[in-house]
Structure formats: C-alpha cells, structure tokens
Amino acid sequence: PRCSTHEDKIREYIKKEAEKLGFQTEVDEIKNLVVRIPSNRDSEGNKLGVVLQSHIDMVCEKNENIQHDFSNDPLKLKTIEIDNEKWLTAEGTTLGADNGVGIAYQLAIMKKMHDGSLDFDALDLDLLFTVDEERGLSGASQMDKNLISGKYLLNLDSEEDGRFTIGCAGG
C-alpha cells in the first residue's frame, strides 16, 4: 500500500530499480521522482522529449468490518469472475490500480529500454512519478518544473477505460 504522504517505500523501490538498470534519477523537494532514459541518438537538436507521468499514491480505504493497517499490512488480492471475465480485486480494501497500472507501465518501459527490446531511437524519455495526487494533486502542482525536460507530457491516469483524457482526470 502507498497512501498519500506515505509514498517513501514505493518511491525508493522505483528509484533503486531504475538505478540498478543504469538510469539517472532525481527527487525534488516535494518528493516527486523522475527517471531519465536518454535516447540512443548522438545528434543534438533532433531528439523529442517526452514525459510519461503517473502518481504513486493510492486511495487507502477499507470496508467497515476489515482490520487493516495500510502502513504495515500487505493487500490481500483475489480474482473474481464477472460476465465470464476474471478481475483482480482486493479483499476488503482498495486495490491501488489507480495509478498502480501507470506505475507498472513505467517499470515495464524501463526494463524493456534497458534490455533493448524497446527502443525509441530519437526520444529522450522522462518517467515522472508524482506524490499526493489523491488528496489534491499537490505533487504535480508543486513540482519543481526543472525536474522534467520533455516538451510533451502523457499522464497515465484516467477516469474511463479505453479513452484518452486531455487535461486532468482528477482536478
């Protein structure tokens, strides 16, 4: 679990994974994290700078009858079937898929860029992990703007499956 204002463990995990793969990381005063993945192209001026952003906190809520300490207890996951489709859910607590799915995309991109199975030849990529989205977007709104260098930012969080949101889904 990674409740708002308690994102230290997930941020450190992401930071260590990125550094283990040889990528540069930086944390700003608000505790947002950026992982820099430089392009493979040597020539300056022709690179495209893109930022992929997700937030690393989650809504930490539990059912009334559930004993759960989000600071120490792991989530209990299970699969359920709805209309002949399997869904992952948590027992008595929120799952954290918002925005855990975005974090998973970013971790997968890091690993694939490192092992060469994914290559953006002319793309400087910043993976931005912001804090405290669930309580008012303070991580994104108070972010040090020098933390990222990309001209374009894609937010990996949205309200509706299968749709792009232009702007902010939550604010």
Six-digit token string for 132: 């405290």
The catalytic residues are 57, 133
Six-digit token string for 107: 């971790």
Which of 4, 3, 15, 9 is closest to 107 using CA atoms? 15
One-letter amino acid of 90: A
Are the C-beta atoms of 47 and 39 separated by less than 8 Å? yes
Q: Helices 8-20 and 97-115, interaxial angle, to 10°?
A: 10
Q: In 3-state terms, the chain is what percent helix, strand and coil (to 5)?
A: 25, 25, 50
One-letter amino acid of 161: D
C-alpha distances out from residue 87 to 3, 83, 92, Å: 23, 10, 15
Which of 40, 52, 69 is closest to 109 using CA atoms? 52
